[in-house]
Chains A and B, each alone.
Chain A
Amino acid sequence: MEPTFKKSDKIFRFTVGERVAHWSHAISFFILLFTGLGMISMFFRPAVGIVGGIDVARNIHRVVAVLFVVVFVVNLFIGEGGRNVRAWVREILAFDKKDLAHFMIFPFEFFGLHRPYPPQGKFNGGEKFNSALMITGMVCLVITGFMMWFPTAIPRVILQWAYPAHAGFALLLTAVLLAHLYLSLLHPDSNQALKGMFNGYVPAKFAYEHYEKWYYKVKSEENVKEQAKREIAADG
């Protein structure tokens, strides 16, 4: 049976730790991209003038890279948020049939053509793909980035390949990011998810329509919790 929803019905999606992971990455990515573009082409070089020139931009690139890695890694091991971020990585690795089914309808949904929506877990197939690209890309960017930072510390041939890898992943992830920004800001259906990244809650109706499996899982967990509460109250 279809559940009915009031507009105010909300469902908790992202803990503080998950939001820290998302926004620390988002902010660092933009800064790293902006300062990196100053290196990639003389076309963008004048733009880094607003931070004080290319020398400053290169220092910012390094400082933000370190800050990002530290914040992200530390956050990974703090409390429930950290646990959930780790669970997110595990979920991506468990890419299954339902995710593939989402993948097939994704091009239609992207352009606003509706197709029967296959029930999804906490993250849908498209999100898993996006996340997988981001994680792989960022790990490679961090590794190659530190190689480029300390060029004499590593064999020359490896360094020579680090440059195209760093530029390639940066540009690939930027292309992926554009699609991500569209879905989170401009797409009429999926942009409701944005609220979850600010205050942690998404509309229940949205959750049900887009993440049915996850929706029922949360609901049943809530029931278990309430049941436990009632029992404790009865005991007391």
Chain B
Amino acid sequence: MTTRKLVFTDTSLCTGCKACSVACKAWNDLPPEKTDFVTSYQVQKETTAKTWTYISFHEKFANGKMTMRMFKHQCYHCADPSCMKACSSDAIYKTESGYTLIDHDKCIGCGYCVSSCPWEVPMVDPETKKSYKCTGCIDRVENGMLPACAFTCQPGAIQFGEYNEMIKKARIRLAEVLEFYPNANLYGEKLMGGTNYVYLLLDKPDTYGLPKNPSTPWSLTLWKSVIHPLGGVAIGAAALAVIAGVASNAALGNYRAKKENAENSHMEGGE
């Protein structure tokens, strides 16, 4: 039986070497892209169809001391993903191991997932017209290997394992770190139904530029859970009214009356 997995990223151990980003490209056959200068060591603004993970750098200068925080961005593999709800083509699905995957045979590149993800992760490739994001290296994981990023991570910041074990480990590590970083927290465990990528952050999420309470957009719930079914009901009600209209006109003899009328005026020589 497959069990739920967890990737725990302990940002207190991250050195910002970006080897995870390279390993991801190597394993998943993703070409390099032209990069930009974003800030300090950061050259990538967002995940793209060809860059599924990157590190963001957050400098802080306080009390005469410089600190640098790092964060590894990629798909969070939510238990209750917005992208899956938004998908027009039933192309996005969950695996038992907890991964959120895109079936590229079904994906039509409509971009509904792109605008629905609270972290803006999936992106449509303008050439292939399909949506892409981190697969969690499902092909490696299902064959007993570590995800490429975790396998590569030299300081051991990216850790992979069974969900229950890993989440325990994460809590223990949080308790240790809290001593030195009073704002430290676990990010992801309670978000979007529980993500399968959980982070130990050294400071509040917004200091990493992360949304504090990412959630399914209201507009998405309205769209898929209210408008779609309600629209169907409205059309059904209109169809019933039409049937009732024809039936009552027939019962009242209005169709017959009209035909007779037409024949009468004919006989009067009106034509």
B245 with A112: CB separation less than 8 A? yes
> Taking the complex as formed, is B265 at the interface, i.e. its CB lies under 8 A from any CB of chain A?
yes
CB-nearest residue of chain A to B108? A54
B89 with A188: CB separation less than 8 A? no
Residues of chain A contacted by B252 (CB below 8 angstroms) = 112-113
Min distance, Cβ B241 to any Cβ of chain A, angstroms: 7
Interface string of B225-260 (1 = CB under 8 A from A): 011101110110111011011101100101101100
- The number of A-B residue pairs with CB atoms under 8 Å apart is 111
Min distance, Cβ A212 to any Cβ of chain B, angstroms: 19
Centre residue among A7, A45, A159, A163 by max chain B CB count within 10 A: A163
Min distance, Cβ B128 to any Cβ of chain A, angstroms: 12
> Taking the complex as formed, is A167 at the interface, i.e. its CB lies under 8 A from any CB of chain B?
yes
B219 with A160: CB separation less than 8 A? yes
Interface size on B, residues (CB 8 A): 46
Q: Given the complex of chains A and B, what is the CA–CA distance between A151 and B115 in angstroms?
A: 8
What 5 A-B pairs have minimum CB-CB distances, sorted nearest first? A171-B231, A7-B270, A164-B223, A112-B249, A178-B238
* Complex A-B: 11 CB contacts under 8 Å: A7-B268, A8-B271, A112-B245, A112-B252, A159-B115, A164-B223, A164-B226, A171-B230, A171-B234, A174-B238, A181-B242
B270 with A175: CB separation less than 8 A? no
Q: Given the complex of chains A and B, what is the CA–CA distance between A113 and B112 in angstroms?
A: 47
A171 with B227: CB separation less than 8 A? yes
Min distance, Cβ B68 to any Cβ of chain A, angstroms: 29
Min distance, Cβ B152 to any Cβ of chain A, angstroms: 32
If the complex has contacts A111-B248, A182-B245, A186-B246, are A164 and B238 also in contact, measured as CB distance less than 8 A? no
B217 with A160: CB separation less than 8 A? yes
If the complex has contacts A110-B245, A174-B235, A178-B239, are A163 and B271 also in contact, measured as CB distance less than 8 A? no
Interface size on A, residues (CB 8 A): 38
Of residues 179 to 238 in B, which have CB atoms within 8 Å of A's CB atoms?
A: 217, 219-220, 222-223, 226-228, 230-232, 234-235, 237-238
A167 with B258: CB separation less than 8 A? no
B270 with A186: CB separation less than 8 A? no
> Taking the complex as formed, is A55 at the interface, i.e. its CB lies under 8 A from any CB of chain B?
yes
Residues of chain B contacted by A174 (CB below 8 angstroms) = 231, 235, 238
> Taking the complex as formed, is A189 at the interface, i.e. its CB lies under 8 A from any CB of chain B?
yes
CB-nearest residue of chain A to B231? A171
A111 with B249: CB separation less than 8 A? yes
A45 with B228: CB separation less than 8 A? no
A163 with B234: CB separation less than 8 A? no
Min distance, Cβ B254 to any Cβ of chain A, angstroms: 4
Residues of chain B contacted by A160 (CB below 8 angstroms) = 115-116, 217, 219-220
B234 with A111: CB separation less than 8 A? no
> Taking the complex as formed, is B13 at the interface, i.e. its CB lies under 8 A from any CB of chain A?
no
Centre residue among A39, A45, A171, A188 by max chain B CB count within 10 A: A188
Residues of chain A contacted by B248 (CB below 8 angstroms) = 111-113
> Taking the complex as formed, is B139 at the interface, i.e. its CB lies under 8 A from any CB of chain A?
no
Q: Given the complex of chains A and B, what is the CA–CA distance between A175 and B239 in angstroms?
A: 8
